[in-house]
Amino acid sequence: MMLEIDNLEVAYGAVRAVKGISLNVAQGKIVTMIGANGAGKSSTLRAISGITRTSGGRIRFDGRDITTMPAHKIVALGISQAPEGRMIFANLTARENLAMGAYLRRDTEGIEKDMDYVFAMFPKLKDRIDQPGGKLSGGEQQMLAIARALLARPRLLLLDEPSLGIAPILVRTIFEKIVEINRELGTTILLVEQNARMALSIADYAYVLETGEVRLHGNAAEIASDDEIRKAYLGER
């Protein structure tokens, strides 16, 4: 297993957001975590990245314990994240945002190549390359956030709510690109989504989270056909 999470707990003061989640991500797969607001999806991702402190449990990447490792070292190991709400550097241009994504890399040529790759993937970004990140539209910022995370050349890409707050027509494009990243670059993806239907349509494996615990997990296709899940998350009767 590339990523192994064992009994993870995250608490904000007295509020326990994650109450013992165990989860595995196999190399080369797209794995999704779905669930309602407050289910603990984002907290789990942030704990993996080292942005949020854990209060219990273990996180292992390639067999190595990264539970208490600082965020910048985790990036160096090959995990990068496009965080929820995009978190674009508003005063840096789109190009500088991308350059920050490659902050830990020293291979100038490789970075140039990857820049060209993300511009081919998101041609809209190329038009806005010298604009400050804060001036981009929501959809463009989301593309920028994903592109920035890709520039770290991660082996595991964490995506937090990539469909949040962007035009429905763009949601489809972004999900197509996520599949493309997985197929073409071989990047393993852990995707957090509220848009369960979309997430399940592209994922190999899925975890359903409810109030900080894993309620159900299985192949994405099985989860998508589960009666209860269809009622609760896919809006079917």
Partner 1 sequence: MKRHRSKIYLLLALVAAAIVAKYQTAISPYYFQIIIYIGINIILASSLNLINGFAGQFSLGHAGFMALGAYTSAVITSSLHLSPGTAVSYPLFAGALICGGLVASVFGLLVGIPSLRLKGDYLAITTLGLGEIIRVIIQSLGFLGAARGFTGIAKLADFFWVYAVVAIVIFTIANLVKSTYGKGFLAVRDDEIAAEAVGVDATRYKIVAFITGAFFAGIAGGLYAHFVTYINPSQFGFLRSFEIVVMVVVGGMGNIAGVILAAAVLTILPEALRAVAQYRMVIYAFLLIVIMISRPQGLFGQRLDWSRVWRWVTRRSSSPAKGES
Residues that bind partner 1 (CB under 8 A): 49-51, 70-72, 75-76, 80-81, 83, 87-92, 96, 99-101, 103-104, 148-149, 152
Closer residue to partner 1 in complex, CB, 23/98: 98
Instruction: For residues 150 and 162, give the distance between their C-alpha atoms in angstroms, rounded to a whole number.
Output: 14
Closer residue to partner 1 in complex, CB, 3/206: 3
CB of 49 to partner 1, least distance (A): 6
CB of 161 to partner 1, least distance (A): 14
Closer residue to partner 1 in complex, CB, 43/205: 43
Cα Dmax for the chain: 54
CB of 231 to partner 1, least distance (A): 36
Closer residue to partner 1 in complex, CB, 144/229: 144
Which residue, among 90, 87, 64, has the nearest Cα to 77 in the 3D structure? 64
3-state secondary structure 170-186: HHHHHHHHHHHHHHHHC
CB of 160 to partner 1, least distance (A): 10
Closer residue to partner 1 in complex, CB, 75/224: 75
CB of 166 to partner 1, least distance (A): 18
DSSP 32-95: EEE--TTSSHHHHHHHHHTSS--SEEEEEETTEE-TT--HHHHHHHTEEEE-TT----TTSBHH
